[in-house]
Structure 1
Amino acid sequence: MSMTLSQFLDSLEDVIPPPGLEPALEALWWAGGKDFALAHEIVQRHEGEPDCDWVHAWLHRKEGDQANARYWYRRAGRSPRHGPVEEEWRAIATALLAGSGY
């Protein structure tokens, strides 16, 4: 699915995510304010997929579970971020939408 960051951000106003999103992007969409628990369920179902593990790390970072977040960053092959979690959410979305996640 081809979508810009602007379109992805605009879609957050919708009730459901756009059709055809990859699991990591779908989880990120739900984590954008609608259903944090569902976002976590999605990434858990796709454990071992690097993009989902990256989003999983971010979810734990956002909830303040740094030790668990570090584990998932390692699984994703990513370095932990230290800036605002909202900036990282946007960076992950940008990378995944561009297809440069991995």
Structure 2
Amino acid sequence: MNLSKFKASIQEGLMPEDLTVYLHSLWLDGRGDWDKAHALIDQMEDVDAAFLHAYLHRKEGDLGNASYWYNRAGKTKPNISLAEEWEQMVLYFLEKSAK
């Protein structure tokens, strides 16, 4: 799968069956369901979940909480739009899931 197909699946409302939990969360977020996207990764402890958690809290507007999660992920808050960060995260997790 590539970014275009991922975005098309969001537009069609047809979630691909083979998504990782991270891509599932980003897919839900892309559909506007922040709560479900957050619920999927809320209790996960790994670095990738922390990174995704940070993005979701940044999107929510809770920048203090987002900073905490970026820190846990070993990353700094990016100086890009939320849409750009979302796309970069999708690309990262697509590449990771292809390995």
TM-score (norm 2): 0.88
- Correspondence 1:1-102 to 2 at 5 A: 3-45=1-43, 47-99=44-96
1:5-47 Cα shifts (integer Å, max 9, x gaps): 11111110233421121111110110012411000100113x2
User: How many Å separate the matches in 1 of 2:12 and 2:50?
Assistant: 25
RMSD: 1.5
- Please identify runs of 4+ aligned residues in structure 1 that moved more than 3 A: none
User: How many Å separate the matches in 2 of 1:55 and 1:10?
Assistant: 21
Higher mean displacement: 57-66 or 6-15: 6-15
Q: Report the structure, 1 or 2, having the larger helix content.
A: 2
Structure 1 letter corresponding to 2:20: E
Q: Secondary structure of the equivalent of 1:82?
A: coil
TM-score (norm 1): 0.86
Aligned residues: 97
Identity %: 38
